[in-house]
Amino acid sequence: MLDVAALELSAEERERIAHPLVGGVILFARNYAEPAQLSALTAAIRTARDPAPLIAVDQEGGRVQRFRDGFTAIPPMRSLGELWDRDVVGAAGEARRLGATIASELAACGVDFSFAPVVDLDHGRSGVIGDRAFHRNPNAVAHLATGFCAGLRSRGMAAVIKHFPGHGFVAADSHHEMPVDPRPLAALEKDDLVPFGALVRGGVEGVMPAHVAYPEVDAQPAGYSRVWLLDILRGRLGFDGVIFSDDLSMAGALGAGDVVARADAAHEAGCDVVLVCNDPEAAATLLSHWRPQPRTASEARCARLALRTPAPA
């Protein structure tokens, strides 16, 4: 999954999207001016190849809402956690309503899904997570995220939860450095993994792992770890949806080597789709030199996500 530079596709970007390794495009604020322009851009992306690529965005709400003018202002998810403390049923209903709003507005402009919701716990340590998290209580996060995902599905949209197995305990920002979470697996299972397990049991369609190292569990950071992605996420939790890497251009991903080595590491660990954002030279290098082994299972998972149909509201 790659990005594009502006409000319209360049000839080079059309050619790049048509490459057989490209299965998706992620959009950013720079790609948005108003709804009609976004609809034209997504239509152009879809016609660049057959089958059409998946089109995604980070439209979480609060600080992370790429499309604003002409879209509903979505509050940070912490506001739902604060409501949950006063009114559990009302908060779950509001989470569903916000999920449905996001899905309706994105779908109307040709966007397939948002990388949302964030189900990291708010440990009060992480500035990059902060108010993007619903709550500190893992049961509250599971409850609210379940409502949010139900709202997405009510409008036919998949959910992609992040950042497995939890980014909220570490202070470091994985955009700029490699965070290290020193806790053992047993502590994570009792806390940060709770909402991931609940949402997997509920049939969540996608998961994005964190660029965070958990050395008590595996030497490799989660996004490059077969222990985390295959043994725990797929094996123990039973997840059978799409695993999207976080952006391989982030500092937390750079330890694996150049962009081809990073893509290899993520793919071999179990990621179905790897993201390369904000680095067109790296994207071009990856498409020229990466030779991943085809995976029928990955293609089937992506096809299931792409073919979602609206469920009853």
Tens of pLDDT, residues 156-210: 999 999 999 999 999 988 787 889 999 999 999 999 999 999 999 999 999 999 9
Asked if residues 248 and 262 have their Cβ atoms less than 8 Å apart, the reply is yes
CA 196, CA 294: separation in Å to the nearest integer? 28
CA 64, CA 14: separation in Å to the nearest integer? 27
Residue 80 to residues 73, 83, 134, Cα–Cα distance (Å)? 14, 5, 6
Residue 111 to residues 234, 298, 305, Cα–Cα distance (Å)? 27, 21, 13
Q: Which listed residue (19, 123, 173, 175) is catalytic?
A: 175
Q: Which listed residue (246, 247, 264, 272) is catalytic?
A: 246
pLDDT-derived band of residue 313, with 50, 70 and 90 as boundaries? very low
The H-or-E segment that residue 39 falls in is helix 35-47
Segment 33-71, tens digit of pLDDT: 999 999 999 999 999 999 999 999 999 999 999 999 999
Count how many Cα atoms sit within 13 Å of the Cα of residue 106 in the half-sphere of its side chain.
36
Q: At what angle do helices 280-289 and 259-269 cross, to 10 degrees?
A: 70
Give the right CATH number for 2-306 from 3.30.590.10, 1.20.1290.10, 3.20.20.300, 3.40.190.10.
Answer: 3.20.20.300
Q: Residue 281 carries which side chain, given as an amino acid letter?
A: E
pLDDT at residue 306, rounded to an integer: 81
Active site residue 246: yes
Q: With 70 as the cut, is the pLDDT of residue 309 above it?
A: no
Q: With 90 as the cut, is the pLDDT of residue 255 above it?
A: no
Where do the structural domains in the chain lie, given as residue ranges? 2-306
Residue 197 to residues 118, 239, 308, Cα–Cα distance (Å)? 14, 9, 22
Mean pLDDT score, 76-97: 98
Active site residue 175: yes
Alpha-helix runs per DSSP H in 73-220: 78-86, 88-108, 138-154, 185-190, 193-201
pLDDT-derived band of residue 305, with 50, 70 and 90 as boundaries? confident
Mean pLDDT score, 291-303: 89
